[in-house]
Amino acid sequence: MARAWKFGDDLDTDQILPGRYAPFMTGQDKFHAYAFHDARPEFATTVKPGDVLVGGDNFGCGSSREYAVAALKVHGIGGVVAKSFARIFFRNCINLGIPVLESADAADLVADGDDVTLDLVAGRLRTPCGAATLRPLPRFAQEILSAGGVVSYLRAHGDFPALD
Amino acid sequence: MTAKTLAEKILSRSSGRDVRAGDLAIVPVSRVMVHDSVIDAVMAGMKALGKERVWDTERVCVFVDHAAPAPTPVVADSHRVLREWVRGQRIATFYDAGEGVCHQIMVEDGFCEPGTVIVGSDSHSNSYGSVGAFGAGMGATDIAVALALGRTWLRVPESIKVQFVGQLRPGVTWKDAITKVVGEVGTDGARYACVEFHGVGSLPQGDRITLSGMSTEMGAKAGIVVDTPEAPEWLHPDADASYTRVVRVDLDALEPQVAVPPRVDQVVDVSAVAGTAVDIVFLGSCTNGRLVDMRQVVQLLRGRRIAPEVRLEVVPASRRQFEDALADGTIAALSRAGAVVGASGCGPCLGRQGGVLAGAEICLSTANRNYKGRMGSPEASIYIGSPYVAAVAALTGVIDDPRPFLEADEESFDLLVAHRRRSRPAVGAASARAGDRARELVGAVPIRTSPQVFGMEVED
Reference B410, options B256, B305, B302; nearest CA is B302
**CA A131 → CA A53, A80, A98, A125, distances in Å?**
16, 15, 20, 5
- Interface A–B counts its CB contacts (< 8 A) at 135
Q: What angle do CA B331, B335, B341 make, to 5 degrees?
A: 70
Q: Distance, in angstroms, between B417 CA and closest chain A CA? A: 36
Q: Which chain A residue shows the shortest CA-CA distance from B125?
A: A64
- Chain A partners of B45 at a C-beta cutoff of 8 Å? 151
Q: Distance, in angstroms, between A80 CA and closest chain B CA? A: 17
For chain B, domains (ranges, CATH) are 6-253 (3.30.499.10), 257-432 (3.30.499.10)
As a whole number of angstroms, the distance between CA B222 and CA B232 comes to: 18
Q: Label residues B145-154 b or e (16+ Cβ within 10 Å = b).
A: bbbbbbbbbb
Residue A66 to residue B123, Cβ atoms within 8 A:
no
pLDDT at B453: 47
**CA B48 from centroid of its chain's CA atoms:** 32
Percent of chain A, pLDDT > 90? Answer: 86
pLDDT in tens, chain B (460 residues): 589 999 999 999 999 999 999 999 999 999 999 999 889 889 999 999 999 999 999 999 999 999 999 999 989 999 999 999 999 999 999 999 999 999 999 999 999 999 999 999 999 999 999 999 999 999 999 999 999 999 999 999 999 999 999 999 999 999 999 999 999 999 989 999 999 999 999 999 999 999 999 999 999 999 999 999 999 999 999 999 999 999 999 999 999 999 999 999 999 999 999 999 999 999 999 999 999 999 999 999 999 999 999 999 999 999 999 999 999 999 999 999 999 999 999 999 999 888 999 999 999 999 999 998 899 999 999 999 999 999 999 999 999 999 999 999 999 999 999 999 999 987 778 877 777 777 777 766 555 555 544 443 333 4
Ramachandran area for residue B150 (φ above 0: left; ψ -120 to 50: alpha; else beta) = left
pLDDT at B64: 98
Residue B372 to residue A38, Cβ atoms within 8 A:
yes
Q: Which chain A residue shows the shortest CA-CA distance from B215?
A: A62
Nearest CB among A58, A69, A96 relative to B191 is that of: A58
pLDDT at B448: 54
- Chain A partners of B188 at a C-beta cutoff of 8 Å? 10, 57-58, 61, 84, 86
Residue B49 to residue A151, Cβ atoms within 8 A:
yes
For domain A2-136, the CATH architecture is Alpha-Beta Barrel (3.20)
pLDDT at B386: 98
Residue A155 to residue B123, Cβ atoms within 8 A:
no
Residue A95 to residue B67, Cβ atoms within 8 A:
no
Q: Distance, in angstroms, between B232 CA and closest chain A CA? A: 29
Nearest CB among A26, A66, A163 relative to B140 is that of: A66
**CA A159 → CA A21, A37, A129, A153, B46, distances in Å?**
34, 37, 42, 8, 14
pLDDT at B444: 66
- Chain B partners of A67 at a C-beta cutoff of 8 Å? 38, 41, 140
Q: Distance, in angstroms, between A27 CA and closest chain B CA? A: 7
pLDDT at B445: 57
Helix axes B319-327, B291-301, angle to 10 degrees: 40
As a whole number of angstroms, the distance between CA B130 and CA B153 comes to: 22
pLDDT at B459: 39
ipTM, two decimals, is 0.86
Residue B371 to residue A15, Cβ atoms within 8 A:
yes
Nearest CB among B72, B221, B263 relative to A87 is that of: B221
Q: What angle do CA B207, B175, B323 make, to 5 degrees?
A: 50
Residue B378 to residue A27, Cβ atoms within 8 A:
no
Residues of chain A with pLDDT under 70: none
As a whole number of angstroms, the distance between CA B159 and CA B241 comes to: 9
- Chain A partners of B356 at a C-beta cutoff of 8 Å? 20
Residue A160 to residue B153, Cβ atoms within 8 A:
yes
Q: State the average pLDDT for chain A.
A: 94
Domain coordinates of chain A in residue numbers?
2-136
pLDDT at B447: 52
Residue B77 CB-half CA count within 13 A: 10
Strand ranges inside chain A, DSSP E: 2-6, 52-55, 79-82, 100-102, 115-119, 124-127, 130-133
**CA B192 → CA A32, A66, B169, B231, B384, distances in Å?**
28, 17, 33, 23, 24
Residue A155 to residue B78, Cβ atoms within 8 A:
no
- Chain A partners of B372 at a C-beta cutoff of 8 Å? 14-15, 38
As a whole number of angstroms, the distance between CA B277 and CA B426 comes to: 8
Q: Distance, in angstroms, between A13 CA and closest chain B CA? A: 9
Nearest CB among A57, A62, A91 relative to B139 is that of: A91
Q: Distance, in angstroms, between A41 CA and closest chain B CA? A: 12
Residue B41 to residue A12, Cβ atoms within 8 A:
no
Residue A19 to residue B153, Cβ atoms within 8 A:
no
CB B394 within 8 A of CB B306: yes
As a whole number of angstroms, the distance between CA B151 and CA B11 comes to: 12
CB B18 within 8 A of CB B50: no
Cβ-based neighbour number of residue A65 at 10 Å: 30
As a whole number of angstroms, the distance between CA A130 and CA A116 comes to: 10
Q: Distance, in angstroms, between A1 CA and closest chain B CA? A: 30
- Chain B partners of A156 at a C-beta cutoff of 8 Å? none
As a whole number of angstroms, the distance between CA A139 and CA A70 comes to: 23
pLDDT at B455: 41
